[in-house]
Amino acid sequence: MKIQFKIHYKTQWGQTMCLIIHTPAGSIEKYGMHCNEKSEWKTELKIDSTGIISYQYAIQNPEKSLDYEYGTIRTILLPALTENMTVIDNWRASYGDSPFISTAFTDCFFKRTPVQVKPAESTNNLILRLNCPQMEPDRHFAVIGNQDSLGNWDVKKKVRLDESQFPIWTTTLDAAKIKFPLEYKYLIVDTKTDEVLAWGGGPNRLVEKADKQAMTVVTDEHFIRTIPSWKATGVAIPVFSLRSEEGFGIGEFNDLKKMVDWAKKTGQRIIQILPINDTILYHTNYDSYPYNAVSVYALHPIYLHLESVGKLKTKKLKDYFQAKKTELNEKNFSDYQNVLMAKWEFFKIIYPQESPAIFASEDYNLFFETNKEWLVPYAAFSYLRDLNGSPEFSKWENFKTYHKQDIEELTAPGTSHYDEIALYYFLQYHLHKQLIEVHDYARENGVAIKGDIPIGVSPRSVDAWVEPELFNTNVQAGAPPDDFSVTGQNWGFPTYNWELMEKDGYLWWRKRFQKLAEYFDAYRIDHILGFFRIWEIPVDAVWGLTGSFHPALPFTRAEIESKGLKWDENRFLKPYLKENVIYATFGKYSDEVTREYFLQDGWQNFKFKPEYDTQKKIETHFASLGYNFGTKEVLIRDGLYALHCEVLFLRDSRQPDKFHPRISMHSSATFRDLTDENRRTLDRIYVDYFYHRHTEFWKQQAMKKLPALISATKMLVCGEDLGMVPDSVPDVMNSLEILSLEIQRMPKKPNTEFAMPSDAPYRSVCTTSTHDMNPIRAWWEEDTALTQRFYNRALGMQGPAPAVCETWIIERIIEQHLNSNAMWIILPWQDWMAIDVVLRNEHPLAERINVPSNPRNFWCYRMHMTLEQLLAEDVFNKKITEMIASSGR
């Protein structure tokens, strides 16, 4: 068969168009194309076989690099008994369609039942194809045109397109019966009424001619929608916060079904949760932090619904656990440690009773074989953690270094400790089953579950134990100062060895995403800025102020001096501990602090004593005070932390002869005591470094990683792009069609105090609050001056703002969001409840989930009413349904 490929595209000087063929064997073949004066590129191939041909187009730049067209690989079915074929294509650009080919749409929101279209005549040899995934399940595409076969522009004679190759819509015509040129338009049609809802925008589509003897395939792109794009609403709530009559003091996977019922009842389409991976390190409330994963694959056993795991055999045990359940369910918070302790008692009782039948089942053995690559090391790690009384594997007596053969011997069946290890197989199997059941239930009801991928893993995790080469454990990941924390955030996670990860195409990340796709149809990339650059903090630091970005382009001494600042290593790199600075920091405690923590270092100058010369040493010292730790001690400790940050530059840990300006230096005493000229010079260096120097460099870093990661699955991709956002972030997210996060209280425009939901881009998730901030009512009472400005400017109201956030204010804020152009409005459950004065929580401050500035935050927020009660509130639920429906969502 002879195939001619044609595509219209205007290249830049020096560029050429290439055809990329993907062979069945997995190889790639590149063919050059030739251009005529109309910017039409052509090439011709001879194909020996029939079947499916897979291909793409790419622009070859003068330096021979390739820029591929956007989207997935194209496929065309090669018809049998055809000697000549012409393929006429259009370049695929980023038109915003990729969210609609995610499983959230194809398998949930837009799940379609293919309709049999009348078979094409055997003589038909002109195929019109439209690539468009954005089509609601109760609608379809039709085509109309200037030919008898296309109705001669009479909508009553429109031709329905075949959707069996969705998102490709097709119809076939007989070229011999067409008077060229062929002009046509695509229509959106209501399937039930056959009413034309919209004509495609733009000029008529055109096929100038086609060989009446050969096969011609025309593929159209970029349907211009002339009616509003699809928009929807959802709710955000952590699993641990769910409350039901069937629960055990904490939310469970099983409870998500009732939240699906509530979402469906109120017209919401998505439920967003926080990470659900195992975080057990110490079996204490410290482990409640859901972003501190022990394994990026293992699910947290605390989310198991006990009755679904097995039934207890004796009345005594049944009564015991029923009493525990009643006691824990009565609490107004998720009592993590005591719930985990009680559930672990149950697991140890139910395991010997149920495991023989489970382990003999075909379903379990399939699960084990599919997951053993991570499951066996995870179970071994969990066993060794408890055996050694610590997750610090570097301090274990045995197995401190992971060796696969040793672990295979440790976990071999028949050993005396095998059941202590196999217990984790048993639990993970049940967790997998229960979450799959929720996923299927949600899809059946037209609701998607949106997961969360944390940016980091615990340094005491099975991942760091098994593959330590992938992590930089000599530094800590965090975030620079922002609205969440003026001292920055120190998450305590290791950073990633991206250079090594790149060598196998980021396989560790891709497998992680693929596991998540078993349970979710959408996901949030936590701190997507970390894929551009991460904030690295020295391992001996507590605050985030002495961190620096990596990868980065630090300055050499020569560069700094070329900008007009004479280099002074002592002045710029060492803490600035002048006597006046110490007295300004500690006030009446200054003499006491000086004697205890400092040594004289010249005239009116000091240095830290060796036992206090890092923030971690200071943290350890004050932690040892126990109950003798009060307001005075907090002031002194935090003052000492702050003095460790009294530097102007930081030495790069990888290139010691290069330096980073210290972030937020303008508020430091060491900056204020410089000369006016040096302050101005340093300010220019600072602005260049943080806002200009890295723009293109960080874009390149993100474009190395993110395309490989997001292509690993078909989930809907959302990015958490908050904080100190580089200028290149919006460009990258737009080009990859990753949904952004828009928050009214955290505007992205400079010199703007409040963002307006009406300005949110279509490809975005717009929300009132996140788990890292107070919900609306508590925020309203944080800062009365700020609230007043919000009341007047964001809400457009006159006069003084009410002291508390009344229900009509909440409604107005939510309506602002619902009426925005954003694809998604996903609101915290607390903010939905705030519109009802009777149903909402009596105590607004009890609704906060996390305080980012507190690394020891206890994640224990719990719904103040049960899901059963929520579902029964018909008047309230009807109100939400009407608010959503009236907004067109």
Q: What does the pLDDT look like over 410-446, one tens digit per residue?
A: 999 999 999 999 999 999 999 999 999 999 999 999 9
Q: Are 526 and 720 in contact (CB under 8 A)?
A: yes
pLDDT band for 484, please (50, 70, 90 cuts). Answer: confident
Q: Hunting for tokens 């619904």 — which residue is that?
A: 305
Give the side-chain half-sphere CA count within 13 A for 384. Answer: 26
Q: Which amino acid is at 47?
A: I
CA distance 34 to 17: 8
The conformation of residue 299, written as its DSSP 8-state character, comes to B
Please check the confidence at residue 119 and state whether its pLDDT lies above 80.
Answer: no
CA distance 738 to 721: 10
3 state DSSP class of 749: coil
Cβ neighbours of residue 303 closer than 8 Å, sequence gap 6 or more: 239, 240, 250, 251, 252, 253, 276, 431, 434
DSSP strand E in 798-875: where? 824-828
Provide the pLDDT for residue 126: 95
What mean pLDDT comes out for the span 748-773? 95
Name the strand (E) or helix (H) holding 46.
strand 40-46
Question: Residue 754's closest CA among 796, 725, 714?
Answer: 796
Q: Are strands 40-46 and 2-8 parallel, antiparallel or unpaired?
A: antiparallel
Q: What does the pLDDT look like over 640-696, one tens digit per residue?
A: 999 999 999 999 999 999 999 999 999 999 999 999 999 999 999 999 999 999 999
pLDDT band for 856, please (50, 70, 90 cuts). Answer: confident
Provide the pLDDT for residue 855: 78
Q: What does the pLDDT look like over 705-749, one tens digit per residue?
A: 999 999 999 999 999 999 899 999 999 999 999 999 999 999 999
pLDDT band for 100, please (50, 70, 90 cuts). Answer: very high
The conformation of residue 548, written as its DSSP 8-state character, comes to E
* 824 strand-pairing partners: 232, 765
- Other beta carbons less than 10 A from residue 754's beta carbon: 16
State the distance between the two ends of the chain, measured CA to CA, in whole angstroms: 49
Provide the pLDDT for residue 80: 79
Tokens (6 digits) for 380: 């071994």
Q: Are 741 and 719 in contact (CB under 8 A)?
A: yes
Provide the pLDDT for residue 114: 77
CA distance 344 to 728: 47
Please check the confidence at residue 113 and state whether its pLDDT lies above 90.
Answer: no
Chain centroid, CA 35 distance in Å: 42
Q: Hunting for tokens 């400092």 — which residue is that?
A: 598
Provide the pLDDT for residue 32: 96
CA distance 424 to 79: 53
CA distance 30 to 13: 21
Give the side-chain half-sphere CA count within 13 A for 273. Answer: 27
Chain centroid, CA 270 distance in Å: 15
Q: What strands lie across the sheet with 658-661, from one edge to the other?
A: 555-556, 658-661, 649-651
What mean pLDDT comes out for the span 293-321? 97
Q: Mind giving me the DSSP string for 171-208?
A: EEE-GGG--SSEEEEEEEEETTT--EEEEPPSSPEEE-
Tokens (6 digits) for 648: 């102007």
Torsion of Cα atoms, 686 then 687 then 690 then 696, to 10°: -130
Tokens (6 digits) for 143: 């085509």
Please check the confidence at residue 145 and state whether its pLDDT lies above 90.
Answer: yes
Q: What does the pLDDT look like over 251-269, one tens digit per residue?
A: 999 999 999 999 999 999 9
- Other beta carbons less than 10 A from residue 695's beta carbon: 13
Q: Are 6 and 88 in contact (CB under 8 A)?
A: yes
pLDDT band for 51, please (50, 70, 90 cuts). Answer: confident
3 state DSSP class of 54: strand
Rg (CA), the chain: 31
List own/partner pairs for 698-704 with CB under 8 A and 24 or more apart.
698/532, 698/533, 698/726, 698/728, 699/532, 699/726, 699/728, 699/731, 699/732, 701/498, 701/531, 701/532, 701/533, 701/551, 702/531, 702/532, 702/728, 702/729, 702/732, 703/732, 704/498, 704/502
Q: What strands lie across the sheet with 448-453, from one edge to the other?
A: 716-719, 522-525, 448-453, 270-272, 232-236, 824-828, 764-767, 740-743
Question: Residue 458's closest CA among 322, 576, 294, 309?
Answer: 294
Q: Which amino acid is at 197?
A: L
Tell me what the pLDDT averaged over the chain comes to: 96
Q: Answer whether the bond into residue 114 is a cis peptide, omega within 30°.
A: no
Q: Are strands 168-173 and 162-165 parallel, antiparallel or unpaired?
A: antiparallel
3 state DSSP class of 696: helix
pLDDT band for 391, please (50, 70, 90 cuts). Answer: very high
CA distance 427 to 300: 9
Provide the pLDDT for residue 359: 98
CA distance 214 to 81: 11
pLDDT band for 85, please (50, 70, 90 cuts). Answer: very high
CA distance 162 to 172: 9
Q: Are strands 522-525 and 716-719 parallel, antiparallel or unpaired?
A: parallel
Please check the confidence at residue 49 and state whether its pLDDT lies above 80.
Answer: no
Give the distance between the most distant pair of CA atoms in the chain: 99
Q: Measured on CA atoms in the order 367, 368, 373, 375, is the torsion positive or negative?
A: positive
Tokens (6 digits) for 91: 């370049």
Burial of 779 (0-12, 13-18, 19+ CB in 10 A): buried
Provide the pLDDT for residue 725: 92
Tokens (6 digits) for 332: 């107004």
Q: At 299, phi and psi to the nearest 5?
A: -90, 155
Question: Residue 605's closest CA among 568, 642, 646, 636?
Answer: 646
User: Can you give the pTM of this predicted structure?
Assistant: 0.94
CA distance 708 to 506: 7
The conformation of residue 794, written as its DSSP 8-state character, comes to I
Q: What does the pLDDT look like over 612-642, one tens digit per residue?
A: 999 999 999 999 987 677 899 999 999 999 9
- Other beta carbons less than 10 A from residue 544's beta carbon: 27
Please check the confidence at residue 769 and state whether its pLDDT lies above 80.
Answer: yes
Provide the pLDDT for residue 870: 98
Burial of 776 (0-12, 13-18, 19+ CB in 10 A): buried
Please check the confidence at residue 277 and state whether its pLDDT lies above 90.
Answer: yes
- Other beta carbons less than 10 A from residue 183's beta carbon: 16
